[in-house]
Amino acid sequence: MELKKLQQMIEENAVKAVDLKYCGLDGKWYHITFPARNIAEVMESGIPFDGSSIPGMTSVESGDMVLMPDASTAQLDAFNATPTLRMICSICDAETRIGVNKDPRSVALRAHKYLLSTGIADMSTWIPELEFHLFDTVQYYSDAFSSGYNLTSSECKDALPEDNEDLDALALQGVKGYHMDTPFDQFYEIRQKIVELIEEQDIKVRYHHHEVGLSAQEEIETELLAFPKICDDVMVMKDIIRRTALQYGLTATFMPKPVYGHAGNGMHFHIMLHKNGKNLFYKKGGYADLSDEAIWFIGGVLTHGRALVAFTNPSTNSYKRLLPGFEAPVKLFYGLANRSAAIRIPKYVNTPETKRFEFRTGDGTCNPYFAMSAILMAGLDGIKRQIDPGKYNFGPFDDNVFAWSEEKKATLLSIPANLEEAMQALKVDHQFLLEGDVFNKELIESHINLKLKENDAVSARPHPYEMMLYYNL
């Protein structure tokens, strides 16, 4: 979008403020706001800021950075009372105005550039499945002498808010909530409002529904969206979900496992590659009608799967979801319509235009720029090296591996069991990420250090359940 169009947008909508969003290593949005009258100056020169104040971004002695807004991301903010224009930024070097090595958005832009340079494909499209919970209230606390949390849900008899006596008997218990209909799906209208706001941002939604978790677990799935814009889109969608929930007096979370023993929140990624308008992953007659390129891409993702989860599942809570019995994959293999597989080929995508596969391991604590870029780099490595997943016992397997004998299951490669193990896997296996200077060693080291600190902070603290187990021993 040219400057004149931005200025026209500002004038027609009486915009008073322009809000610049950028993503840190932790996957959170940060923002800075300036008067709309300064739009021309900011579009030319950007806005300087102290990068050393953003966790893991840079050191104090080299903290000066510049936010350069991307005019194509300009949208009116649907939530602020003050008419506000929102744009997404890349974090750039103060002198060169080039995206810095640790800027997540610049990583995705470099990954796309690398994809084009290989000649393998000229486009990559993705579908992210966003799973989340809408709770009525949440309280949590942790200090030296106390620790705990409390979640409430009007949909679940076991977790009703104090002011809800469930006199209309809409709250349920002991059942699964998948595709649960109204009136038991109590937040349908809120979910629909979220979808409407998402579509106003030029993000096409495929459908939305109640998920398995009874305590208001939701899912919104998009149509196929182009990389790297899809990374921006995930950030936008998460923001809309959170802010809409707050408008209705609710709280939204993408935590992989907020409720013990109940279904957790994943973020599955459907992936396609295209060249000259053709889907590269379709070939009639192969396994599930997958092309050689598709099989090799899968081989790359599974070969690097243990390292990938360091970016796709970067929280201690991630590994409380990745347990057998909850349709969450714990073994690295692929199969047709197999929900116990790390990579599932959906049966319903059976045409040359729709053939794709789904990486099921990730979750919403990931930084979408890092996660999708890493998956893409692993898949491209698989194509370049023609990695056959069958040679490494990665499948295809079409049966439920959870029903296998323990001896047979032990022959499959497992994903890391915890965050520390995932970071160790990334330390060992990251060369594929360095191709094309997409990622770099400093970024990988910063990510590992940041996440190991989180892991140590959690593991060093007494757990409330430990009190029940051990206090009186």
DSSP string over 253-285: E--S-SSTTSPPP-EEEEEEEEETTEETTB-TT
Query: Taking the CB of residue 231, how many other CB atoms lie within 10 A of it?
Result: 28
Which position among 26, 77, 129, 289 bears the catalytic label? 129
Which position among 11, 41, 50, 399 bears the catalytic label? 50
179 tagged catalytic: no
50 tagged catalytic: yes
* 8 A C-beta contact, residue 192 and residue 209: no
Which position among 339, 385, 461, 463 bears the catalytic label? 339
Which position among 26, 155, 211, 420 bears the catalytic label? 211
Spatial distance between the Cα atoms of 125 and 225, rounded to a whole number of angstroms: 5
Q: What are phi and psi of 318, to 5 degrees?
A: -55, -35
Which position among 77, 232, 358, 381 bears the catalytic label? 358
Q: What are phi and psi of 203, to 5 degrees?
A: -115, 115
31 tagged catalytic: no
Alpha helix (H) residue ranges in 328-388: 368-385
Alpha helix (H) residue ranges in 135-284: 188-200, 229-247
466 tagged catalytic: no
Which position among 77, 103, 219, 293 bears the catalytic label? 219
Query: What are the distances in angstroms from CA 278 to CA 225, 282, 468?
Result: 15, 9, 59
CB under 8 A, 24+ apart: contacts of 10-15 = 10/36, 10/39, 10/85, 13/76, 13/83, 13/85, 14/83, 15/76, 15/83, 15/84, 15/85
129 tagged catalytic: yes
Per-residue b or e along 433-455, where b marks 16 or more CB atoms closer than 10 Å to that residue's CB:
bebbebbbeebbebbbebbeebb
Q: What is the dihedral of CA 453, 454, 457, 458, to 10 degrees?
A: -150
Q: Which residues pair with 271 in a beta bridge?
A: 126, 357
Which position among 26, 77, 131, 185 bears the catalytic label? 131
Q: Which residues pair with 58 in a beta bridge?
A: none
Which position among 86, 105, 191, 268 bears the catalytic label? 268
Token match 């590269």: residue?
Answer: 280
DSSP, collapsed to helix, strand or coil, labels residue 6 as helix
61 tagged catalytic: no
131 tagged catalytic: yes
Q: How many residues does the chain have?
A: 473
327 tagged catalytic: no
360 tagged catalytic: yes
- Catalytically active residues, by annotation: 50, 129, 131, 211, 219, 268, 339, 358, 360
